[in-house]
Structure 1
Amino acid sequence: MTATPLPDAAPLHDVLIIGGGLVGASLAIALHQAGLDVGLVEASAPDALPAVFDERNLSFSEATVHGLTALGVLDRLRSPAGAIERIHVSRQGDFGRTLLEAARHGRSEFGRVVVARDFGLALEARLSEMAALRRYRPARFVGLDPLEGAGPRGVRIVDGGGERRLRAQVLVAADGTGSGVRQALGIGCDHHDYGQTLFVTRLRTQRPPDGTAYERLGPDGPTALLPRGDGHYGLVHGVERACADEVAALDDAGFLARVQAHFGWRAGRFLACGARSAYPVARSLAQSLIAPRAVLVGNAAQTVHPIGAQGFNLGLRDALTLAELLARARAADALADCGDAALLEEYARRRHDDRARTVAFSDGLARISANPAEGLRPLRSLGFWAADRVPSLQAWLVGAAMGYRGDVPALCRAQDAS
């Protein structure tokens, strides 16, 4: 492989994003709309979607719906999204349940359910309209040049022509849980394996979705039913890691019987399921969100337990907060340095509370719901009772479900979120 001979001969971008998945692509759209010079490094070829855009079901909070609408993405969905009008939470073996209803809180819905593949196609349709966006694909990140004074970041990638250098005022790591950019920056990561595997599929039930999203907790992980817009549910079924191979080997009838036994009959009999995918569940938290002329967003910054469907929603708020800060700086000064240290520190400050609260919520709920200790059963049942009847606690849960935690970016508040 050959490299471009001189760093100052390399293309220079205001922002270079490594990773074209859910969060990276959304960030590229937001920055392009703000008039910044953006480069996007994507592992997938132009005629292929990233692997993350599969048959998984994404639960978008209200804040996320607002943000993606402002980016011009949601109106490019080819398939209808499913509205979440109520959220039903219970635990196998415990008494009580919590029911959150959007209508009781002045909303028609808490959010929407979108199939990841449909979302990927909508993002691609929006990206393809942005002629000024420079897309490097298929390409992969291979390393960083040493920083020299106040100059831009030097980044090395490999594409079909070999190794090349790019430069950026600020580098954004949106390359997922195992982020190579994060490692190259020397940012450590705290990791916890929950010992669970999630099976994801499409589910047809005796009673079609009525706008209710179900979260059935259990000692092996959650079983969630998400109301899709095509008359099916999106199913997420957690199992103990040691049983994952056995569950994967079940035929459809055996798998449906297992899920029915764990979930119950609230949605009627389970009739059929689509192809199944399996994903191990672990939490990864970067020890810093920033480095000199570099920022982490999405799963590169934090990968959380999917219980409560917080992951992408949190990552999008990362992206839109960063886009807001960069757009504001550029509007105030056309020559503003996107990699200014004070600006990146402001990003880390603004993301602190939302990130900390969301991680604590998902991790705490995952741990306490999976704990089989008999002494916790009455405490969990009391918690369900309180969450169902105490107005202040319901309001807190509703705000969290809709994505309003901490300092929320402006694009996520397209309507009054109070």
Structure 2
Amino acid sequence: MKHTVNHPVVIGGGPVGLVLALSLQQSGVPVTVLEAQQQGAMYGDGRALALSYGTRQVLERLGVWNALASKVTAIETIHVSQKKGFGRALLSAKEHQLPALGYVVSYGALMQALDARLSESSTSLEVQYQVPVQQLHVNAAAAEITFQNTTEASQSHDVFTTPLAIIADGGRSLEAIPGLVRETKHYGHDALVGMVETELPHHNIAYERFTPYGPIALLPNGEQFSLVWTGEQAYIDQICALDDAAFLQALHQAFGDRVGKFLHIGKRGRFPLKLSKLEQTFQAHCVVIGNAAQTMHPVAGQGFNVGIRDAMALAENIAASSASEWGATHRLTEYHQSRARDTGRGLLFTDFLVNVFSNDLIGVGLLRGAGLGALSMLPFARRFLVNKMSYGSE
């Protein structure tokens, strides 16, 4: 069945898509969201997300933060160091007059808070669940979205014709679009993630420890830490093969004594690391945001927050347009230009950190130490870094 909808349609009901939809609804722009999974399917997802202070401000503006505040763990200090080398740096929320440098929350808790806000929203915001997108065709006049309605016994296929399709599903629906070009750099590294219990309390300190094999991040999460341990795939293979006791010993050897002994590791997961950027191929009627548009190494916790900034910038662009301009070439060009600086610098920044802080070449250790020493001694450098982590590149 074919339907013409005269408003934007968001493909993907994850955090980035819902932040966009809530912002559009707040600006009086009607919007429909298509989500492949059923409502609540991700509530049990314990993956840790690092929210910047800027993302907190967005969630406050959308009326989401109050439902989330009791489920987040504040990062008040970030401790940066390198193994087998001098130099360390401390970033403090108090120094920059912020309540926190960031927050750690589970993906599931954030989804519950967003859904709770959705339940209070007006009829101008509609979310359809269990409707995976099968095809997306963009022509000179509109975008046509073909999706399967799995809630009906007939498993029917429906088509929405919309002036603006927004892909915010992490890239899943991009497989249905031929001809897209993505520039990708594969690091040959994997990230191992899990929850770890430590001998000493975290005191709301997040740690970034650079080693010759790759960075190790410990993020305060409840009473424990969320661990992100990255390295070459062969190295992570070895770490994954260890039993829990040997794993905790290896982690202590790599990380050091700052949190005492590592007492317990929860379920371990892993995923490959890459840096990628979608070369935009849509002149009009379709735009890609969030991880579907760019994927970053998790070394500085930038990726998710860049996606939120994508959503807010696009919402402002749409709200400032007349209905006849939604999806127009000049409006999407303005959006891409407004985001080029932030996304481009985010990609370069994370790539730089990986290249400089994750190898053991002669002389690089001295460079790392000098950089950390300068960061420790220069207030303006700390201010620049905190502003970038909080708000991106303006």
Is TM-score (shorter-chain normalized) higher than 0.5?
yes
Is the 1:154–1:165 Cα contact (8 Å) retained in structure 2?
A: yes
Is the 1:13–1:39 Cα contact (8 Å) retained in structure 2?
A: no
Partner Cα distance (2:197, 2:10) in 1: 39
Q: Which residue of 2 aligns with 1:393?
A: 381
Percent identical pairs in the alignment equals 35
Verify: 1:191 aligned to 2:184, yes or no: yes
Give the C-alpha shift of residue 131 in structure 1. 4.8
Q: Which residue of 2 aligns with 1:209?
A: 202
Q: Kindly report which structure 2 residues correspond to 1:12-411, keeping only aligned pairs within 5 A, or say none.
A: 12-49=5-42, 54-77=45-68, 79-132=70-123, 133-145=125-137, 147=139, 149=140, 151-160=141-150, 161-176=155-170, 178-181=171-174, 184=177, 186-228=179-221, 230-288=222-280, 290-329=282-321, 333=322, 335-406=323-394
What SS class does the counterpart of residue 286 from structure 1 fall into? strand
User: TM-score scaled to structure 1, two decimals?
Assistant: 0.88
Partner Cα distance (1:95, 1:276) in 2: 31
Is the 2:346–2:392 Cα contact (8 Å) retained in structure 1?
A: no
Partner Cα distance (1:95, 1:395) in 2: 22
What SS class does the counterpart of residue 37 from structure 2 fall into? coil
Give the C-alpha shift of residue 187 in structure 1. 3.2
**Structure 2 counterpart of 1:165, one-letter code:** V
What SS class does the counterpart of residue 387 from structure 1 fall into? helix
Is the 1:221–1:239 Cα contact (8 Å) retained in structure 2?
A: yes
Is the 1:79–1:118 Cα contact (8 Å) retained in structure 2?
A: no
Partner Cα distance (1:285, 1:145) in 2: 21
Q: Which residue of 2 aligns with 1:413?
A: none
Q: Which residue of 2 aligns with 1:416?
A: none
Give the C-alpha shift of residue 232 in structure 1. 1.4
Partner Cα distance (2:199, 2:113) in 1: 31
Q: Which residue of 2 aligns with 1:411?
A: none
What SS class does the counterpart of residue 23 from structure 1 fall into? helix
What SS class does the counterpart of residue 291 from structure 1 fall into? coil
**Structure 2 counterpart of 1:283, one-letter code:** L
Q: Which is further off, 302-311 or 288-297?
A: 288-297
After superposition, the CA RMSD in angstroms is 2.0
Query: Deviations along 1:41-80, whole A, 9 cap, x unmatched?
Result: 1121124128xx7222111111111001111222222843
Give the C-alpha shift of residue 348 in structure 1. 0.4
When residues 182 and 286 of structure 1 are mapped into structure 2, their CA distance, relative to the original with a 3 A threshold, is farther
Query: Deviations along 1:273-313, whole A, 9 cap, x unmatched?
Result: 22222111111111127532111100111000000100100
Is the 1:90–1:96 Cα contact (8 Å) retained in structure 2?
A: yes
Aligned pair count reads 389
User: TM-score scaled to structure 2, two decimals?
Assistant: 0.93
Query: Deviations along 1:363-382, whole A, 9 cap, x unmatched?
Result: 11011111220221111111
Give the C-alpha shift of residue 10 in structure 1. 0.8
When residues 139 and 375 of structure 1 are mapped into structure 2, their CA distance, relative to the original with a 3 A threshold, is same
When residues 185 and 391 of structure 1 are mapped into structure 2, their CA distance, relative to the original with a 3 A threshold, is farther
Runs of 5+ unmatched residues, structure 2: none
Give the C-alpha shift of residue 248 in structure 1. 2.4
Is the 1:289–1:348 Cα contact (8 Å) retained in structure 2?
A: no
Partner Cα distance (1:30, 1:23) in 2: 11
What SS class does the counterpart of residue 226 from structure 2 fall into? strand
**Structure 2 counterpart of 1:358, one-letter code:** G
Give the C-alpha shift of residue 344 in structure 1. 0.8
Partner Cα distance (1:156, 1:283) in 2: 30
